Amino acid sequence: MINDTIAAISTAVGSSGISVIRLSGPQAFEIADRIFRGKTPVRDQKSHTIQYGRIISPETGETIDEVLLTKMESPRTYTREDVVEINSHGGYTIARTLLNMLYENGARPAEPGEFTRRAFMNGRIDLSQAEAVMDIIQARTDRVSRVAVKQLEGSISRKLEDIRERLIELLSGIEVNLDYPEYDAEEVTLAQAGETTKKIIGILDELIKSFSFGKLLREGMEAVIAGKPNVGKSSLMNRLARKNRSIVTDIPGTTRDIIEEYINIKGIPVKLVDTAGVRKTADRIEQLGVERSVQAIAGADLAIVLVEAGTLITDEDEAILKKVREEGKPYILCINKTDLIMDGSRLEKLKKDMPDAVFMSIAEDTGIDELEERIFRFAAENIHDMDNQVLVTNARHESQLKKAKAYLESVYAACQSGMTLDMVALDLKAALEELGKITGHHADEDVINAIFSRFCIGK
């Protein structure tokens, strides 16, 4: 039972049309009544209604602001506690003044993520759904947001609950055999355990495989644009970002530092990195830029290597490709400035000789769509029907799924070798515990604290 009442600003602090101050806990209505004056006292206001009123200083009687107050009685609230939300005028001063008044009248400051933590502690959502709340807040694309909303609605929870129910049913059957050995049903139970476990291992394996794409959706993919000076890297950056993010000139070596920009390619967040041209130079500042370019290649998920159509692959280009290959990085070779090749037959021959390359002219805006499609295909790999399948997007979830799968593989091996039921039961219980850590059935307090510490205050 949570006995205190918490308050926080739930909207971004700063100049805005409105600010929302949230109050949750057993004294929410009583505290609100101390500072709010409307047509009806908050305690008598009908639940899930809004009324207009004023915030009054209890000490001076001065009107602080005109507000709209929403009253929501438990358990039909986000936290399953009594909740009050005050919509005040936006701005740092008013919001902070109202919040301090709530603190002075019995509320305490909410900790990061404490409203969502109370929703979890009060059984409104499980731990995986709580993590989905943060994913929604941090989503960079519509696709990421849709996946996170599905997880908040319980897509992962329902899948795991179905698996847990099947394992619990199996474990119950085994324990009946252990408690009542006179029925001599061990061989049948082992056969059933092996068959059921094999099917569940297959389901877990599919969930684990989905993490490679789910991670890209959640965290984004880093793609570095590499090439020698003046090949069009900054122009490509600006074109993909659809804004002038990098300075573009005809002077080789204009870009001296790393420039980053998040872009959206078919719903996948991509951190695009524009680098300094890689070449030998006596300019110390440019040397530092080249060193950072090499580091960026090493840290990227994908390299986009630009070369000029007129010169094709020079020694400088070959040195960059060698570095990319040494780092084991997948790459897309892009042939830029095709508009400078006047001989159409020569261009066709180049395309035939280099079928894996993307031919483009950034100046004439050709080949960009093909590059975006290649980036998307690299990210999506072989995953289909992405909007309808259950995706694992959280590294913690993947880790627990792998641990559960390992225990179930031990169960399956035990069933195949004819080991005793008590050994099978131990690994089944361990698998259930690992799965339960995802949704919070068996989560450690330290894990729960770490998860909610990443939330913003007010959520």
In a domain, 116, yes or no: no
Beta strand 83-89 with 63-72: parallel, antiparallel or unpaired? antiparallel
Q: Are residues 30 and 143 in the same domain?
A: no
Look-up of token digits 């090949």: 231
Query: Which distant-in-sequence residues (6+ apart) come within 8 Å of 105 by Cβ?
Result: 31, 34, 35, 58
Q: Residue 421 is which amino acid?
A: L
CA distance 166 to 199: 10
Assess whether 266 and 200 both reside in one domain.
no
Alpha-carbon separation of residue 274 from 260, 329, 357 (angstroms): 6, 17, 20
- Pairing relation of β-strands 83-89 and 302-308? unpaired
Q: Which of 341, 359, 380 is the last residue of a domain?
A: 380
Considering the domain boundaries, does residue 225 fall inside one? yes
Position 20 scores a pLDDT of: 94
* Residues in the chain, total: 459
pLDDT of amino acid 76 = 96
Burial 290-304 (b: 16+ CB within 10 A, else e): bebbeebbeebbbbb
Q: Tell me the C-alpha to C-alpha distance, in Å, between residue 364 and each of 234, 236, 282, 339, 370.
A: 15, 12, 34, 7, 14
Regarding whether 137 and 77 lie in a shared domain, the answer is no
The Cα–Cα gap between 411 and 431 comes to: 9
Token pair in block for residue 361: 């002219």
CA 135-139-145 angle, to 5 degrees, is 85
386 in any annotated domain: no
Rounded distance between C-alpha atoms, residue 267 and residue 386, angstroms: 11
Dihedral of CA atoms 116, 117, 123, 126 in degrees, nearest 10, equals 80
The count of other CB atoms within 10 Å of the CB of residue 277 is: 25
CA distance 430 to 405: 10
Instruction: Per-residue pLDDT tens, the chain, 459 aa: give them.
Output: 578 999 999 988 777 789 999 999 999 999 999 999 999 999 999 999 999 999 999 888 899 999 999 999 999 999 999 999 999 998 888 989 999 999 999 999 999 999 999 999 999 998 999 888 888 887 777 777 888 888 888 888 999 999 999 988 888 877 766 665 555 544 556 777 888 899 999 999 999 988 877 877 777 788 888 888 888 888 888 888 876 654 444 444 444 446 888 888 877 788 888 876 554 544 444 455 455 667 777 777 888 888 888 777 888 888 888 888 888 888 899 998 888 887 778 888 888 888 888 998 888 989 999 999 998 888 766 444 555 578 888 889 999 999 999 999 998 998 888 787 778 888 999 999 999 999 888 777 887 888 888 878 778
Tokens representing 283 are 């300019």
Per DSSP, what are the bridge partners of residue 165? none
**Are 233 and 199 members of one domain?**
no
Q: Are residues 367 and 313 in the same domain?
A: yes
- Amino acid, single-letter form, for residue 289: G
From the CA atom positions of the chain, what is the Rg in Å? Answer: 30
Which H helix or E strand runs over 261?
strand 259-265
Contact 22, 458 (CB under 8 A): yes
pLDDT tens sequence across 312-357: 788 888 888 888 888 888 889 999 888 888 777 888 888 888 888 8
Q: Which of the listed residues 60, 77, 110 is the one where a domain comes to its end?
A: 110
Structure token pair of residue 401 = 């799924």
Both structure tokens of 50:
């809004």
372 plus 439 within the same structural domain = no
Residue 77 contacts residue 24 (beta carbons within 8 Å):
yes
Last residue of a domain, one of 338, 357, 380: 380
Do 241 and 158 sit in the same domain of this protein? no
Q: Show Cβ contacts of residue 146 under 8 Å, excluding neighbours closer than 6 positions.
A: 387
In this structure, the number of other CB atoms found within 10 A of the CB of residue 457 comes to: 16
Residues 73 and 33 in one domain: yes
CATH number at residue 367: 3.40.50.300
CATH number for the domain including 30? 3.30.1360.120
Tokens standing for residue 150:
């599905």
Q: Tell whether 124 is covered by a domain.
A: no
Query: Beta strands of 294-453 (E only): which ranges?
Result: 302-308, 331-336, 358-359
Q: Is residue 273 part of a domain?
A: yes
Q: How far apart are the first and last CA of the chain?
A: 20
In a domain, 155, yes or no: yes
- Give the C-alpha distances (Å, rounded to integers) separating 341 from 235, 314, 335, 351: 19, 17, 11, 12
Residue 361 DSSP class: B
Residue 254 lies in a domain: yes
The string of DSSP codes covering 283-317 is -HHHHHHHHHHHHHHHH-SEEEEEEETTTBS-HHH
Q: Is residue 447 part of a domain?
A: yes
What is the CATH classification number for the domain harbouring 139?
1.20.120.430
Q: Give the Cα separation of 277 and 126 in Å (integer).
A: 49
Q: How many helices (H) and strands (E) does the chain have?
A: 16, 13
Residues 129-151 have pLDDT tens digits of 988 888 888 777 777 788 888 88
In the chain, how many domains are there? 3
Same domain, 349 and 297: yes
Q: Tell whether 165 and 88 lie within a shared domain.
A: no
Tell me, yes or no, whether 225 and 82 share the same domain.
no
Which amino acid does the sequence have at 305? V
Threshold 0.75, pTM exceeds: no
> What is the distance between the alpha carbons of residues 214 and 398, in angstroms, rounded to a whole number?
10
Contacts of 312 (CB under 8 A, 6+ apart): 335, 350
Residues 261 and 241: beta-carbon distance below 8 Å: yes
Q: What is the DSSP string of 169-238?
A: HHHHHHHHHHH-GGG--HHHHHHHHHHHHHHHHHHHHHHHHTHHHHHHHHH-EEEEEEESTTSSHHHHHH
CA angle 331, 337, 343 (to 5 degrees): 120
Q: 16 lies in which domain range?
A: 6-110
Q: Are residues 163 and 64 in the same domain?
A: no
